[in-house]
Structure 1
Amino acid sequence: METRRWHLIFGFTMLFILYGIVLLNIQVLSSEYKTMSEANIVDRQVEYPLRGMIYDRNGQLLASNAAVFDIMVTPKYFKLAEEDSAILAGMLDYTIEELRFNIKKARGYSWFKPSVLKKQISQIDYARIQDKIIRFKGISIQARTIRSYPHKSLANALGYVKEVSRSYLEKDTTKYYQSGDLIGISGIEKFYEKQLRGQRGVSYVMKNVKGVVKGPYADGKLDTIPRVGATLTSSIDLDLQKYGEDLMVNKKGAIVAIDPSTGEILAMISAPSYDPNELTGEGKRVSKNYSNLSRDKNKPLFNRSMQSRYPPGSTFKTVMAMIGLQRGVVDTTTTYFSCNKRLVGCHEHASPLNVRGSIVNSCNPWYYQEIRRLMDDEGKRYQTSDRLRETLDEWRDEVKGYGLGVKLGVDMPYEKGGLVPSSRLYDRIYKGGGWKISTIHSISIGQGEVLSMPIQLANLGAIIANRGHYYTPHIIKDVGGEGPLEQYKEKHTVNVKPEYVDHIARAMADVPRIGTARRAFSNDIVICGKTGTAQNPHGEDHSIFMGFAPLHNPKIAIAVYVENAGFGGTWAAPIASLMMEKYVNGEVKRGYLEKYVYSGDLIAKEEARKERERKLKELREKNKARYKEIQARKAKQDSVKVTTSDSE
Structure 2
Amino acid sequence: MTRHIRHAALFCALLLVALLVNAARVQVLHAGDYEANPANRRDAISRYRQPRGDILVDGRPVTGSRDTGEHLRYERTYTDGPLYAPVTGFASQEYGTTLLEHTEDGLLSGAAPLLAPLPRWNEFTRSRNAGGDVVTTIDPAAQRAAFEGLRSRKGAVAAVEPSTGRILALVSVPSYDPALLSGNGRTARAAWARLNADPDRPMLNRAVQRTYPPGSTFKVVTAAAALDAGVVKGLDKPTDSPDPYTLPGTTTRLTNGSEGCADATLREAFVWSCNTVFAALGVAAGVERMKDTALGFGFNDDGLRIPFPVARSTFDTRVDRAQLALSSIGQYNTRATPLQMAMVAAAVAGGGQVREPYLVERTTRSGGGTVSSAGSSPVRRAMHPATALRLRELMRGVVEDGTGRKAAVPGAVVGGKTGTAQHGLGNSGTPYAWFISWAQHEEDLEPKVAVAVVVEDAAANRREISGGGTAAPIARAVMEAVLKP
**1:280 pairs with 174, 182, 188, which one?**
182
Task: Tell me the residue number matched to 1:581.
Answer: 480
Task: Tell me the residue number matched to 2:255.
Answer: 345
Q: Closer, same or farther in 2 for the Cα pair 1:52/1:158, shift >3 Å?
A: same
Which whole-Å CA distance do the structure 1 matches of 2:265 and 2:428 have between them?
35
Note the residue ranges of structure 2 that are not aligned, 5 or more in a row: 28-41, 114-123, 246-253, 365-369
The letter of the residue matching 1:195 is L
Q: Closer, same or farther in 2 for the Cα pair 1:253/1:568, shift >3 Å?
A: same
**Aligned ranges for residues 478-497 of structure 1 at < 5 Å?**
478-480=362-364, 481-484=370-373, 489-497=376-384
Contact between 1:528 and 1:550, CA under 8 Å: does it hold in 2? Answer: no
1:478 Cα offset (Å):
0.8
Which whole-Å CA distance do the structure 2 matches of 1:200 and 1:326 have between them?
47
Contact between 2:231 and 2:284, CA under 8 Å: does it hold in 1? Answer: yes
Q: Closer, same or farther in 2 for the Cα pair 1:13/1:542, shift >3 Å?
A: closer
Deviations 1:482-539 (A, max 9, x none): 44457xx332222521111111012211211101111212222111111111013343
Task: Tell me the residue number matched to 2:277.
Answer: 366
Task: Tell me the residue number matched to 1:402.
Answer: 297
Quick check: 1:540 aligned with 2:430? yes
Contact between 2:241 and 2:280, CA under 8 Å: does it hold in 1? Answer: no
Which whole-Å CA distance do the structure 1 matches of 2:371 and 2:233 have between them?
45
**Aligned ranges for residues 412-451 of structure 1 at < 5 Å?**
412-413=307-308, 415-423=310-318, 426=319, 436-451=320-335
Question: Structure 1 vs Structure 2: percent identity of aligned residues?
Answer: 26
Task: Tell me the residue number matched to 1:118.
Answer: none
> How many pairs align?
430
Deviations 1:581-621 (A, max 9, x none): 121015xxxxxxxxxxxxxxxxxxxxxxxxxxxxxxxxxxx
**1:197 pairs with 99, 105, 109, which one?**
109
Contact between 1:462 and 1:557, CA under 8 Å: does it hold in 2? Answer: yes
**Structure 1 residues 340-349 or 260-269, which shifts more?**
340-349
1:258 Cα offset (Å):
0.8
Contact between 1:159 and 1:188, CA under 8 Å: does it hold in 2? Answer: yes
Contact between 1:459 and 1:557, CA under 8 Å: does it hold in 2? Answer: yes
Q: Closer, same or farther in 2 for the Cα pair 1:546/1:51, shift >3 Å?
A: same
Which whole-Å CA distance do the structure 2 matches of 1:408 and 1:20 have between them?
65
**Aligned ranges for residues 463-542 of structure 1 at < 5 Å?**
463-480=347-364, 481-484=370-373, 489-536=376-423, 537-542=427-432
> What TM-score does the superposition give when structure 2 sets the normalisation length?
0.80
The letter of the residue matching 1:545 is F
1:322 Cα offset (Å):
1.0
The letter of the residue matching 2:168 is L
Quick check: 1:570 aligned with 2:454? no
The letter of the residue matching 1:573 is A
Contact between 1:338 and 1:365, CA under 8 Å: does it hold in 2? Answer: no
The letter of the residue matching 1:345 is T
Q: Closer, same or farther in 2 for the Cα pair 1:290/1:539, shift >3 Å?
A: same
Q: Closer, same or farther in 2 for the Cα pair 1:521/1:13, shift >3 Å?
A: closer
Highest Rg: 1 or 2? 1
* Matched position secondary structure for 1:503: helix
Q: Closer, same or farther in 2 for the Cα pair 1:253/1:143, shift >3 Å?
A: closer
Task: Tell me the residue number matched to 1:127.
Answer: none
Deviations 1:23-58 (A, max 9, x none): 78999x99949x89xx9xxxx9974443221100x2
RCO greater where, 1 or 2, for CA within 8 Å and sep 6 or more? Answer: 2
Q: Closer, same or farther in 2 for the Cα pair 1:401/1:241, shift >3 Å?
A: same
1:461 Cα offset (Å):
1.3
Which whole-Å CA distance do the structure 1 matches of 2:240 and 2:466 have between them?
23
The letter of the residue matching 2:414 is I
Contact between 2:164 and 2:377, CA under 8 Å: does it hold in 1? Answer: no
* Matched position secondary structure for 2:325: helix
The letter of the residue matching 2:266 is V
Which whole-Å CA distance do the structure 2 matches of 1:21 and 1:315 have between them?
85
Which whole-Å CA distance do the structure 2 matches of 1:302 and 1:538 have between them?
23
Q: Closer, same or farther in 2 for the Cα pair 1:553/1:440, shift >3 Å?
A: closer
1:353 Cα offset (Å):
3.7
Note the residue ranges of structure 1 that are not aligned, 5 or more in a row: 1-11, 71-141, 166-182, 202-221, 376-391, 427-435, 587-648
**Aligned ranges for residues 181-220 of structure 1 at < 5 Å?**
183-184=96-97, 186-199=98-111
* Matched position secondary structure for 2:413: coil
**1:356 pairs with 257, 267, 292, which one?**
267
Deviations 1:454-504 (A, max 9, x none): 110011111111112222212211122244457xx3322225211111110
Deviations 1:311-359 (A, max 9, x none): 1111111111111121222223560316632213221347644333332
**Aligned ranges for residues 105-184 of structure 1 at < 5 Å?**
144-152=73-81, 153-163=83-93, 183-184=96-97
**1:558 pairs with 410, 432, 451, which one?**
451
Contact between 1:50 and 1:198, CA under 8 Å: does it hold in 2? Answer: no
Q: Closer, same or farther in 2 for the Cα pair 1:418/1:326, shift >3 Å?
A: same
What is the RMSD of the two structures over their aligned residues, measured on CA atoms? 3.1
Q: Closer, same or farther in 2 for the Cα pair 1:550/1:156, shift >3 Å?
A: same
* Matched position secondary structure for 2:412: coil
Contact between 2:261 and 2:269, CA under 8 Å: does it hold in 1? Answer: no
**Aligned ranges for residues 187-266 of structure 1 at < 5 Å?**
187-199=99-111, 223-266=125-168
Higher helix fraction (1 or 2): 1
1:260 Cα offset (Å):
1.4
Contact between 1:356 and 1:503, CA under 8 Å: does it hold in 2? Answer: no
**Structure 1 residues 454-463 or 235-244, which shifts more?**
235-244
Deviations 1:248-287 (A, max 9, x none): 1121111011111221111111111122222221211111
Which whole-Å CA distance do the structure 2 matches of 1:445 and 1:200 have between them?
46
Task: Tell me the residue number matched to 1:100.
Answer: none
1:161 Cα offset (Å):
1.8
Task: Tell me the residue number matched to 2:66.
Answer: 66
Task: Tell me the residue number matched to 2:55.
Answer: 54
**1:304 pairs with 206, 231, 239, which one?**
206
Which whole-Å CA distance do the structure 2 matches of 1:499 and 1:270 have between them?
35
Contact between 1:469 and 1:491, CA under 8 Å: does it hold in 2? Answer: no
Contact between 1:335 and 1:352, CA under 8 Å: does it hold in 2? Answer: no
Contact between 2:236 and 2:267, CA under 8 Å: does it hold in 1? Answer: no
Which whole-Å CA distance do the structure 1 matches of 2:415 and 2:302 have between them?
25
The letter of the residue matching 1:189 is E
Q: Closer, same or farther in 2 for the Cα pair 1:334/1:583, shift >3 Å?
A: closer
Contact between 2:297 and 2:354, CA under 8 Å: does it hold in 1? Answer: no
* Matched position secondary structure for 1:306: coil
Which whole-Å CA distance do the structure 1 matches of 2:79 and 2:51 have between them?
17
The letter of the residue matching 2:429 is G
Q: Closer, same or farther in 2 for the Cα pair 1:300/1:373, shift >3 Å?
A: same
Which whole-Å CA distance do the structure 2 matches of 1:370 and 1:63 have between them?
49
